[in-house]
Structure 1
């Protein structure tokens, strides 16, 4: 948990530094990107035990391995597109940020097609048995 506090302190320090830079917005954007990358790496270290737990559930529940992979990719794409979109907005490029978030949503929907297809097949199976 100490990593969390260090990351929170780094984020707050980056905010203060960004505000003190004033007109040097380019350096502020680079600072923001660097701190975002650092926080993302810390978040990944916290998520590793969660991934191990999900893999164990996958094994115990005899789940299809590709479904878990799809879900993890979707979460990753969602987080990256959201953070990158916010950085674009902070840099004064809000339209690029929104476009990136829209692209992330479209990719997540595309990745989710096998899950939707499997659910549709399950519904068809249930309806046939009725």
Structure 2
């Protein structure tokens, strides 16, 4: 899916959802969720190329594959957290959206701690 297609689908879906919100508000939410999932699955088609390029970059700079995997996990967590948070906000549940965002941030923090410790060990090794 190209950016143009995603934009057209998004704008058309937003206009359709606005039309349905005046009659039955829940239909607008369902349309919003369905189109968001459609665009999400369109993005998944490009994910393989992104992963391949990140692995190639990791090979050029001789980076440990564990760090690349962690980076991709962080990317996935942030995307899923943002996606689900926006759906909750669209449905009118800002409190739940805020909790999802906080959980996503904490999950990324937990994933980054081993990398931070490895960085501190490397700095300690240089200073010794």
TM-score by length of 2: 0.91
Q: Which residue of structure 1 aligns with residue 33 of structure 2?
A: 33
**CA offset digits 1:14-35 (Å, max 9, x no partner):** 1001110124222211211111
Structure 2 equivalent of residue 86 of structure 1: 86
CA distance in structure 2 between the aligned counterparts of 1:105 and 1:90, rounded to whole angstroms? 20
Q: How many residues align?
A: 127
TM-fit CA distance, 1:95:
0.3
Hey, what does 2:103 align to over in structure 1? 103
Length-normalised TM-score, structure 1: 0.89
Q: Which runs of 5+ in 1 are unaligned?
A: none
CA distance in 1, matches of 2:25, 2:74: 32
Q: 1:23 to 1:102 in 2, by over 3 A?
A: farther
Within 2, Cα distance between the matches of 1:30 and 1:124? 53
Unaligned runs of at least 5 residues, structure 2:
none
Spell out the pairing of 1:1-130 with structure 2 (5 A cutoff): 3-21=2-20, 22-128=22-128
